Amino acid sequence: MEKLTLENFEQASELVKKVTLPTELVYSEYLSRQTGGRIYLKPENMQYTGAYKVRGAYYKISTMSEEERERGLITASAGNHAQGVAFAAQKFGCRATIVMPTVTPLIKVNRTKSYGAEVVLHGDVYDDACAYALKLAEEEGLTFVHPFDDLEVATGQGTIAMEIIQELPTVDYILVPVGGGGLITGVSTLAKMLNPKIKVIGVEPAAAASLKAALEAGEPVTLPSANTIADGTAVKRVGEKVFPYIQENVDDIITVEDDELIGAFLDMVENHKMIVENSGLLTVAALKKMDLKNKKAVSVLSGGNMDVITMSSIVQHGLIQRDRIFSISVLLPDKPGELVNVATAVANAQGNVIKLEHNQFVSTNRNAAVELRITLEAFGTEHKREIIKALEDVGYSPKEIGAKLY
């Protein structure tokens, strides 16, 4: 384990400045108020390529021989690592081939191509793409750049810890998203070198907790699946080479459910005007699970590459989750004036109608009841209750139903 050295971290920290933007810590008054601590964000979502991955890729390429670079580089990725390697290779003047799953969103494919890389689409998932990339590397003599199970790559990612500690020397906790383990290996190893008192916490999606499983087993294990909206950390097995460093330097692992990421997305958009991808939100969601009173904590926001359709879906689900959008069913007699009565009650309670469906065929006796389904906008749970009570006060019996905006 002598390969990760302070000298290499220092060298990497200087080198990556050539290809990274200064992502200075952002103090979050909102999250600090919620947790009782002093919470800072490390916004790697603001990098040129939208993620931290360029750090490891650039440092890895810098350690290669001229002959290795001249052969050309190859890697497999569905997103952030692809763009990181393509961007770094362009800076070194290397040829880069990126194998991406066939289901990769077009925007990610085009961005990777925009950095001068050749993109090969193969397989349905990352594992298929990776196997094909390794096959091409062997057949064509290309140099493979692993997304996470590589100590030089981990060293480059660890430069994040150097920047955090230089800016906030008294930090108590650093929270790091975990997929394959490259980022947390670099961050935890360097943090412990600089100050053993700093606690490094890994955060994984509950449905893809490969590091938690590995730590419990004492060695990397392969999960049966990794089905999570945090696609950047949907890794079934952590890296073999990096695992010993994680065992030694990581203090704890927290798992986060997908539903919790939805709320964290809204928090970032509304309170910090930031777009952070689901994997990057893991550390924000984890804050609520920790006792951080009077502590200084840094949440690493690992990336911000999210397509607009996904963003739209998460906002919709988040608003429903927080009772800012809800639907009710109201039964009322089919006679003139009833619709006005309902609308007046809602308006008096400051509710805003988004969608309305009037179903006359819910009962064979239309004089007894027709159904009105209303989707409403509210300020939150308390306001929702006030709207429902306003309808009850004028004689209706509204029932809450699943909200849909389409």
Give 253's strand partners.
Answer: 202
Last residue of a domain, one of 300, 318, 336: 318
Examine the domain organization and report whether 310 and 329 are in the same domain.
no
What pLDDT digit, counting tens, does each position of 326-382 carry?
Answer: 999 998 888 888 889 999 999 999 999 999 888 776 665 656 678 899 999 999 999
Whole-angstrom distance, CA of residue 392 vs CA of residue 397: 6
State phi, psi for 160 to the nearest 5 degrees: -60, -40
CATH number of the domain residue 333 falls in: 3.30.70.260
Residue 405: the pLDDT is: 62
pLDDT digits (tens, 9 = 90+) for 37-47: 999 999 999 99
Question: Within this chain, do residues 72 and 175 fall inside the same structural domain, yes or no?
Answer: no
Confidence at residue 124, expressed as pLDDT on a 0 to 100 scale: 80
The residue among 284, 318, 352 that closes a domain is: 318
Is 406 part of a structural domain of the chain? Answer: no
Under 8 Å between Cβ of 249 and 211: no
Q: How many domains does one find in the chain?
A: 3
Contacts of 65 (CB under 8 A, 6+ apart): none
Long-range contacts, stretch 160-163, CB < 8 angstroms, 24+ apart: 160/42, 160/44, 160/52, 160/55, 160/186, 160/187, 160/300, 161/186, 161/187, 161/188, 161/190, 161/191, 161/194, 162/9, 162/10, 162/13, 162/190, 162/194, 163/13, 163/23, 163/42
The dihedral formed by the CA atoms of 272, 276, 279 and 281, expressed in degrees to the nearest 10: 10
Q: Does 188 qualify as catalytic in the annotation?
A: no
- Token pair 């933007």 is found at 21
Distance CA 275, CA 307 (A): 10
Last residue of a domain, one of 114, 144, 174: 144
Are 337 and 393 found together in one domain? yes
- The verdict on 135 and 264 lying in the same domain is no
Beta partners for residue 177, in sequence order: 203
Find the catalytic residue in 28, 188, 210, 302.
302
Whether 137 shows a pLDDT value over 60: the answer reads yes
Task: Say if residue 330 is in the same domain as residue 365.
Answer: yes
Confidence at residue 309, expressed as pLDDT on a 0 to 100 scale: 86
Residues 212 and 233 in one domain: yes
Closest CA to 121 of 102, 144, 97: 102
Q: Percent of the chain having pLDDT more than 90?
A: 80
1 inside domain: no
User: DSSP 3-state assignment of 138?
Assistant: helix
| Residue 260 maps to a domain | yes
Q: Are residues 26 and 84 in the same domain?
A: no
Q: Is 60 known to be catalytic? A: no
Instruction: State which residues form the domain around 218.
Output: 6-48+151-318
Active-site residue among 13, 28, 42, 53? 53
Clarify whether residues 254 and 172 are in a common domain: yes
The pTM assigned to this predicted structure is 0.89
Residue 270 domain flag: yes
The confidence score (pLDDT) of residue 227 equals 85
Note the pLDDT of residue 87.
Answer: 94
What is the predicted pLDDT for the residue at 126?
77
Write down the mean pLDDT value for the chain: 92
Same domain, 189 and 275: yes
Tell me: do 108 and 185 sit in the same domain.
no
Mean pLDDT of 6-31: 96
Domain check: are 167 and 272 in the same one?
yes
DSSP-H helix ranges across 178-323:
182-194, 210-217, 243-249, 258-272, 282-286, 308-321
Predicted confidence at residue 367, as pLDDT, reads 61
Residue 261: per-residue pLDDT: 96
According to the model, what pLDDT value does residue 362 have? Answer: 64
- Residue 92, domain CATH: 3.40.50.1100
261 and 333 fall within a common domain: no
| 222-232 mean pLDDT | 88
Binned at pLDDT 50, 70 and 90, residue 167 comes out as very high
Listed in sequence order, the residues at least 6 apart from 66 whose beta carbon sits closer than 8 Å to its beta carbon are none
